[in-house]
Structure 1
């Protein structure tokens, strides 16, 4: 990856790139030792090195044949570096006899390491910074050939790629280690009939230990069944599904072994038997949700009691009047109560339109004869209650006079959302078929007034009393339907 002097990074930026890469902190032949061994054998030299050069030293990212104590130390001062000249010149350095070479004849490596002949070529980071050299070293004078130089230059590109992979892995490791979320990697243990029965921990990060109190020594290389046996049964199906389908899963898990704490776990497949998990402690959040659910349940219970009291008062007050009218009133109260339940399930913030419809139709016992299609829509509290009353009146009318008054009649409710405007237009179409001929009402009732108001008071309603069944269309903007005010 040669570069021109004009485009070459400044010494400061080069040094910063080297430090960011982590190459100076990972000394030793465990990284690239196999490549230096290849150089040593192919060129028949006693020593081969991959050195990373900063302003005061050269660190061996890989070496083969390097004498002690340098092999164990893994670095040497810049006073002993031939590779520094490769970096300075950004070109290969060919030395047949160091004692006769003007640039290196004062170098301390001649006396301390016996370096006489040297052939070094530049190596680079993936981002283009020249970081050091791949070099072959001999302890006696040697005339290097063009073939030697071509071989070393070709292998240097392999080193570049290996460095790139190493830097990427280091960044990945650093990211994992610095995460606030717990991380673990595991390999599944399969039964003979193709089910996951356990898994081995391959790796964890520091946050895993912080969140669970379990150290790497206590976890890595051990099966889940011995580390956290109480969690095995509920979590195994999750890992099995992820491995078989390839789809990520997010689950809440309560760990009894960790004091009943709740964790939100995200599981992702790596290969056919390996996966990773990321998790965070959500105990406080989960307990707050449970407490809110209990509060909502209590509010709902009290609201039902209040509704029952209103119903009893109304029945007593209206005693002697038309029982049919009293029944209609009671049914309206029940429909309103159902909508309240739906809103309480979502902390009174919103309710799904199809849930409101299903609850309302279910209370009337006609949900199996009404088909609902189209995208679901979130409704604010007031629109949710309005929709429940609207659907209740439409369904009640259909039971009395329309399609639901005969065995073979049915109703279609179709939703659509037109995204073509700044504020999407939501349309609900009510269509009856298979019932007796219908006619428009001759007088205005409470129910017909509700229908005329539509999904939002003020319009957006078209009602047609066709002979083959009632057809009604209701429209409102998305912002109106999702308004939070009550």
Structure 2
């Protein structure tokens, strides 16, 4: 039985904090799933969890490739991370005394490797972990970069949890305020809710002072309704009530729309609730109600959706430029900034390179190489690893040396989030505003959340690029080795009198090299079955003598090599004794997947047509044994030597066919 860390299970303050977040047993949410998918990709692990450790259980807010939604603490590795108080990395759980007896280690699913970064709230309570798990030990653990990114993602999970609490509280407060507003105008003013009363005969609006503040107009006892209605943005025209539909009593009683506030042009979201006052005959006389500025709530919803969309985009992106361009556009449009982008920074060379940016109309792009000389104050601050937030660059005395540089690029307010590698500044994600702007804490957190996702995506792309280069180098060396083997064999076997055996050996090397070329197209990760078949047949006869067809499948490297060698032997036999030994002979090669899920098998058939009658071989050499072994050396093989031509049927499990 594993030991429960008492400092975790008995910490009443920590458990009270966890319960106050109102997240235990909540429904799945895409924002958490997106962060979990990024962590799994960065750490190249099959399983990832967002684990919240309660007094007697651990519950998973999000999970990938892990069945139960919670476990008791006897099965918890995350509780040991909380006990340690920092990121926990266990290369082999079966030998660590804290976890060796854990039922998840000794039994199913047999986990071996664990890495968990703490979810620590803003007031210092560790409530759980963002962790990745593997069923294979990892003696090397995680790289420094993977650990840093896992911890950054854990911080974003915690931020999302706390933002979620704030949103719930804000919604509850809004509902309470609306109810009070409907009962009394005084309570409405206290809750920042405006009230109005429209006389339908005169079309005059009698607003409260708070309504005038919300719409940015100077207070007056009465206005023509057009004063407020014309503030709606064009896309939302029609969502407000109009004079004609108020007269008919058909106006929407509850609606939401956007306005450009009168005194400063700021875009604001408004929630309006109304009702009609009628006479005894039911004719509308007045339209009364409340208005509430819901911009903060809408911004939170929109920003959460931006983060979800960005996570999806990053997951599918194939280049750093794609990631930066998408993130810059989404962030710039949401925050109505002047310019957003990413710059790589080379401190020794005193240069920065803006790789991609998004610019508002009329704002010049900064894409290209630039000197850091005009931004030394900024560079010094970013080297601390902390985000830089400046509302008015021209007025910031400590940045006086940079003010001319920022003026030249049309920026007077900025947020910059540094990218560090081994304590060295290598880049930053930036937001510029052409005029002075007070950045809210929510805006800064949003920029940091976007930057964290961009940096995680950039790390994935770089890792994939490095892996691709390594695969290409290994593949190139393997191809050279095959060529060297062929040359050595040719020289060594030059004097051998049995030329058939020598030529068969050389042809097999050629078939193996051809399959290697097909796999090399996808860095030895997989190969399309059509490509393998066509490459194998192209060296034996004209393509019109083969009829090839089947499902578009991808084969793992082992299956691709096995299939190429199998087809080579079948074609060699057909040329010597079968359909390809006569001009009119043809071969049909077809395949299909039969069954579903774990029971799925690949069934491939080789049929020789219009050739001479065939007989089983008198002697069984290497080629015959290879054919008999079938696809990938496993599965079912059926060989028929019919008078009308040879037929071979080969089956193998799809789990083996697609195995890397």
| TM-score, normalising length: structure 2 | 0.41
Q: Which of 317, 322, 327 does residue 182 from structure 1 map onto?
A: 327
In the TM superposition, what are the counterparts of 1:29-40 in structure 2 within 5 Å? Answer: 40=198
Specify the SS of the correspondent of 2:625: helix
In the TM superposition, what are the counterparts of 1:315-464 in structure 2 within 5 Å? Answer: 315-318=490-493, 319-420=495-596, 422-464=598-640
- Provide Cα deviations, 1:184-214, integer angstroms capped at 9, x if missing partner: 48xxxxxxxxxxxxxxx98886697043769
Does the 8 Å CA contact 1:417/1:425 hold for their aligned counterparts? yes
In the TM superposition, what are the counterparts of 1:73-92 in structure 2 within 5 Å? Answer: none
Give the length in aligned residue pairs: 330
Whole-angstrom CA distance in 1 between matches of 2:580 and 2:564: 18
- Summarize the Cα distance change of 1:125–1:458 in structure 2 as closer, same or farther, 3 Å threshold: same
Whole-angstrom CA distance in 1 between matches of 2:522 and 2:301: 41
* Greater alpha carbon shift after TM alignment, 284-293 vs 325-334: 284-293
Does the 8 Å CA contact 1:418/1:425 hold for their aligned counterparts? yes
1:19 is displaced (CA, Å) by 8.9
Specify the SS of the correspondent of 1:440: coil
Does the 8 Å CA contact 2:255/2:273 hold for their aligned counterparts? no
- Provide Cα deviations, 1:366-395, integer angstroms capped at 9, x if missing partner: 444322222133333322221111011111
Specify the SS of the correspondent of 1:476: strand
Whole-angstrom CA distance in 1 between matches of 2:535 and 2:482: 17
Match of 2:361 in 1: 221
Specify the SS of the correspondent of 1:313: helix
Q: Does 1:43 align with 2:201?
A: yes
Q: Which of 200, 211, 215 does residue 342 from structure 2 map onto?
A: 211
Does the 8 Å CA contact 1:403/1:433 hold for their aligned counterparts? yes
Specify the SS of the correspondent of 1:473: strand
1:462 is displaced (CA, Å) by 0.7
1:448 is displaced (CA, Å) by 1.4
- Provide Cα deviations, 1:204-238, integer angstroms capped at 9, x if missing partner: 8669704376999x832359xx75899xxxxxxxx
* Greater alpha carbon shift after TM alignment, 418-427 vs 340-349: 340-349
Does the 8 Å CA contact 2:536/2:564 hold for their aligned counterparts? yes
Whole-angstrom CA distance in 2 between matches of 1:412 and 1:50: 84
| TM-score, normalising length: structure 1 | 0.53
Does the 8 Å CA contact 1:176/1:183 hold for their aligned counterparts? no
Give the unaligned 5+ runs of structure 2.
Answer: 1-168, 179-193, 225-250, 257-270, 312-325, 344-353, 369-425, 429-452
Match of 1:309 in 2: 484
Match of 1:255 in 2: none
Does the 8 Å CA contact 2:585/2:609 hold for their aligned counterparts? yes
- Summarize the Cα distance change of 1:210–1:325 in structure 2 as closer, same or farther, 3 Å threshold: same
Whole-angstrom CA distance in 2 between matches of 1:291 and 1:331: 34
Does the 8 Å CA contact 2:585/2:610 hold for their aligned counterparts? yes
Does the 8 Å CA contact 2:638/2:648 hold for their aligned counterparts? yes
Match of 1:67 in 2: 220
- Provide Cα deviations, 1:26-69, integer angstroms capped at 9, x if missing partner: xxxxxxx9x97xx7473326434489xxxxx7786569994189
1:403 is displaced (CA, Å) by 2.1
In the TM superposition, what are the counterparts of 1:50-61 in structure 2 within 5 Å? Answer: none
Give the unaligned 5+ runs of structure 1.
Answer: 1-10, 21-32, 52-56, 72-120, 137-142, 186-200, 231-258, 262-278
Whole-angstrom CA distance in 1 between matches of 2:466 and 2:170: 57
- Provide Cα deviations, 1:50-97, integer angstroms capped at 9, x if missing partner: 89xxxxx778656999418999xxxxxxxxxxxxxxxxxxxxxxxxxx
Whole-angstrom CA distance in 2 between matches of 1:365 and 1:285: 44
- Summarize the Cα distance change of 1:403–1:228 in structure 2 as closer, same or farther, 3 Å threshold: farther
Match of 1:172 in 2: 302
Does the 8 Å CA contact 2:548/2:589 hold for their aligned counterparts? yes
1:424 is displaced (CA, Å) by 0.5
Does the 8 Å CA contact 2:328/2:341 hold for their aligned counterparts? no
Does the 8 Å CA contact 1:208/1:214 hold for their aligned counterparts? no
Q: Which of 154, 162, 173 does residue 15 from structure 1 map onto?
A: 173
- Provide Cα deviations, 1:396-441, integer angstroms capped at 9, x if missing partner: 1222222223333322211111134632021001112132332222
Whole-angstrom CA distance in 2 between matches of 1:344 and 1:65: 71
Match of 1:483 in 2: 659
Does the 8 Å CA contact 2:525/2:556 hold for their aligned counterparts? yes
Q: CA RMSD in A?
A: 5.2
Match of 1:243 in 2: none
Whole-angstrom CA distance in 1 between matches of 2:515 and 2:303: 51
